[in-house]
Copies of this chain bind each other. A is one copy, B any other.
Amino acid sequence: MKILVLGGDGYLGWPTALHLSAAGHDVAVADNFARRGYDYEMGVDSLIPIEPLQTRVNTWYQLTGKRIGMYIGDLCDADFTYRTVGDFAPEAIVHYAEQRAAPYSMVDRKHAVYTQTNNVVGNLNVLYAIAEINPDIHLVKLGTMGEYGTPNIDIEEGWLEIQHKGRTDRVLFPKRPGSFYHLSKVHDSHNIEFACRIWGIRATDLNQGVVYGQQTPETAADDRLATRYDYDAVFGTMLNRFVIQSVIGLPLTVYGNGSQTRGLIDIRDTVRCIQLACENPAARGEFRVFNQMTQAMSVQQVAETIAAASPEAVTIEHVDNPRVELEDHYYNVVYTGLADLGLEAHLLSDTLIDSLFEITKRYAHRVRPEAMLPTIQWRKTSSIISN
């Protein structure tokens, strides 16, 4: 298949592009390098050095003889979006190309407006490009489990069979997310469902849990193919951050009492989920939703798992929760759709954690420890982004 990966230079976009290419698909990536730009703003960098996109693509070609196309530009620029979709003529578009950090969206008004504008407008442009250029293209859109929030009922896969006052309906699962970033993806989901309904396009919305891990078989083949690894309090997801804290001898910083529960997924399963979604497209007019996670753990459980696996003595420190979120809440998620398509999950294991310890140790000298302390307060309207 011809598959276009939007945001193909990012933490997950790049490994996804390699995985799809390795699986025999004809892949192109599009990126505006916004993610690399946020690093300058925050004064941090990927723990593991990453090469320019051009070097990555050339390395992959040298190693495998497989070409990955490159489109450099911004999806909010509709001309770029239309030109890219028209030129590459994909059968599926994997859309990672959004600002993806909840804390970044909560810095202040400008960051909230940027996040929602960038994500919603970019996604609208993609929807229109598909509808106008080739409505048969399958949109595989990355959403987040955070769209749902933490309802007191089971979280179904996007839709909910509902009974109310003796009547029934199938409705979009009600969402109550926890940041302006998560809200931007709720907005996207509503816009995509509508586009499927009026134009008959096909879409899969993947509500992904917190991703951990850094290597896939493809990225591990050469240092120059490495994907980024974020440890800072803004873009670093919790498990990845805990690993680095343990390696450099800092306490693992758990927000609040740590009872907040999250869906998790191994990076190797992420790329496999995308492949499964692409190879088993939604029907025309269908808005299909999968919950892309393989297990649920509380933040405290994740910290304890890392602490137990660490070769060093590790302490866990509870810091004031900078977010506004429920602790001690109900959390039970249905996530059978991708398993039904063939996903065989890698559950969090000592092996994975060991390999993470190893690679983070190698680059531990690159850590700026103060960047791991949370500075962005949900209850405030304006925070300083970095220490």
Which A residues form the contact surface with B (CB < 8 A)? Answer: 78, 109, 112-113, 116-117, 120-121, 124-125, 128, 131-132, 151-154, 160, 162-165, 167-169, 171-180, 183, 186-187, 190-191, 193-194, 197-199, 324, 330, 378-379, 381-382
Give, as a whole number of angstroms, the nearest-CB distance from A269 to chain B.
26
The answer to whether A381 and B152 touch across the interface, beta carbons within 8 angstroms, is no
- With A78-B109, A116-B120, A167-B330 known, 15 other A-B pairs at CB within 8 A are A112-B124, A116-B121, A116-B191, A117-B117, A120-B120, A120-B187, A128-B381, A153-B162, A154-B165, A160-B174, A162-B174, A171-B176, A180-B194, A186-B190, A199-B379
Instruction: Report, nearest first, the 6 A-B pairs whose CB atoms are least far apart.
Output: A152-B169, A171-B174, A153-B164, A109-B128, A187-B187, A198-B324
How far, in angstroms, from A330 to B382 measured CA to CA in the complex? 45
Give, as a whole number of angstroms, the nearest-CB distance from A271 to chain B.
30
B residues in contact with A162, CB < 8 Å: 153, 162, 164, 174
The answer to whether A153 and B176 touch (CB under 8 A), given A109-B128, A113-B124, A198-B324, is: no
A155 nearest CB neighbor, chain B only: B164
The answer to whether B121 and A113 touch across the interface, beta carbons within 8 angstroms, is yes
B residues in contact with A128, CB < 8 Å: 109, 112, 381
A377 nearest CB neighbor, chain B only: B198
A187 nearest CB neighbor, chain B only: B187
7 residue pairs bridging A and B, Cβ less than 8 Å apart: A113-B124, A113-B125, A153-B162, A154-B165, A174-B174, A176-B193, A183-B187
Give, as a whole number of angstroms, the nearest-CB distance from A121 to chain B.
6
The answer to whether A381 and B131 touch (CB under 8 A), given A167-B153, A172-B175, A175-B190, is: yes
Q: Which one of B109, B160, B191, B330 lies within 8 Å of A183 (CB-CB)?
A: B191
The answer to whether A174 and B176 touch across the interface, beta carbons within 8 angstroms, is no
A173 nearest CB neighbor, chain B only: B174
